[in-house]
Chain A
Amino acid sequence: MKLKDLPDDSPYTPGDKACEGCMASNIAINVMRILGRKTIVSVPPCCMSVFAGIFPAINWDVPYFHMQFANLASTITGISRALKAQGKDDVVVVGFGGDGGTADMGLQALSGAAHRDENILYICYNNEAYENTGVQASGSSPFGSWSSTTPVINGGTGNEYFPKDIPRILIAHNSTYVATAATSHIQDFINKVEKAKNLRGFRYIEVLSVCPPGWKVPTDSGPQLVEEAVDSGYWLLFEYEKGHLTINEEPKFEGLREFLSKQGRFDSLTEDQYQELETFYKNRWKIINNYQVNNDS
Chain B
Amino acid sequence: MIPKNRYHDMMTANQAVAIATVRAKPKVIAAYPVTPQTTIVEHLACYIAHGDLKSEYVRVESEHSAMSVVAAAQGTGVRTFTATASQGLAYMHEVVSACGGMRLPIIMFVANRTLMSPGGIWPELSDSMPERDAAWLQIYVEDNQEAFDMILQAYKIAEDSRVLLPIMVCGDGYILTHSTEKVEILGEKEVDDFLPPYDPKHVYLDVDRPIAQGLIVPPEYHMEAKWQMHQAMLKALEVIQEVNDDFAEKFGRNYGGLIEKYRVDDAEKVLVTIGSTTGTAREIVDELRDKGEKVGLVKLRVFRPFPKKEIKKALKHVQSIGVFDRSISYGSAGQCFLEVRNAMYGTDMPILNFIAGLGGRDVRDKDIEFMFDKLKETEILEEVIDPVVFVNTRGVTS
Contact = CB atoms under 8 A, between A and B. Distances in A.
Contacts of B215: 53-55, 58, 64, 66
Main secondary structure of the interface of A (DSSP, over half): mixed
Interface in B38-69: 55-56, 58-62, 64-66, 68-69
B207 A38 contact: yes
A60 B60 contact: no
Contacts of B27: 82, 85-86
A64 B212 contact: yes
Contacts of B69: 74-75, 77-78, 81
A75 B207 contact: no
Interface in B213-238: 213-218, 221
A78 B77 contact: no
B62 to A, nearest CB: 6
Given A63-B211, A64-B212, A65-B213, A116 B59 contact: yes
Given A53-B216, A67-B98, A68-B95, A76 B72 contact: yes
Nearest to A81: B56
Interface stretch (A104-112, A123-131, A243-251): A104-112
A78 B28 contact: yes
Nearest to B71: A78
B361 to A, nearest CB: 35
B45 to A, nearest CB: 15
A42 interface: yes
Contacts of A191: none
Interface in B185-208: 205-207
A66 B213 contact: yes
Interface in A42-82: 42, 49-50, 53-56, 58, 60-68, 70-71, 73-79, 81-82
B73 interface: yes
Contacts of B75: 65, 78-79, 82
A68 B315 CA distance: 43
A3 to B, nearest CB: 26
B393 interface: no
B94 interface: yes
B70 interface: yes
Nearest to B221: A55
Contacts of B213: 64-66
A84 interface: yes
Contacts of A91: 207
Interface string A124-146: 00000000000000000000000
Contact of B73 (A42, A63, A64, A81): A81
A37 interface: yes
Contact of A78 (B62, B76, B210, B217): B76
Contacts of B321: none
Given A75-B71, A86-B78, A116 B212 contact: no
B73 A82 contact: yes
A276 B77 CA distance: 52
Contacts of A74: 60, 64-66, 68-69, 72
Nearest to A70: B64
A56 B221 contact: yes
A217 interface: no
Given A60-B212, A65-B212, A68-B95, A78 B70 contact: yes
A39 B207 contact: yes
6 contacts: A62-B210, A63-B212, A74-B65, A82-B73, A82-B78, A85-B28
Interface of B: 27-28, 30, 55-56, 58-62, 64-66, 68-78, 94-95, 98, 205-207, 209-218, 221
Q: Which 8 A-B pairs have the closest CB atoms?
A: A78-B72, A112-B61, A82-B76, A74-B65, A74-B68, A82-B73, A85-B27, A71-B68
Interface of A: 37-40, 42, 49-50, 53-56, 58, 60-68, 70-71, 73-79, 81-86, 91, 108-109, 111-112, 115-116
Given A54-B216, A74-B64, A75-B68, 4 more contacts: A74-B69, A75-B69, A78-B71, A82-B73
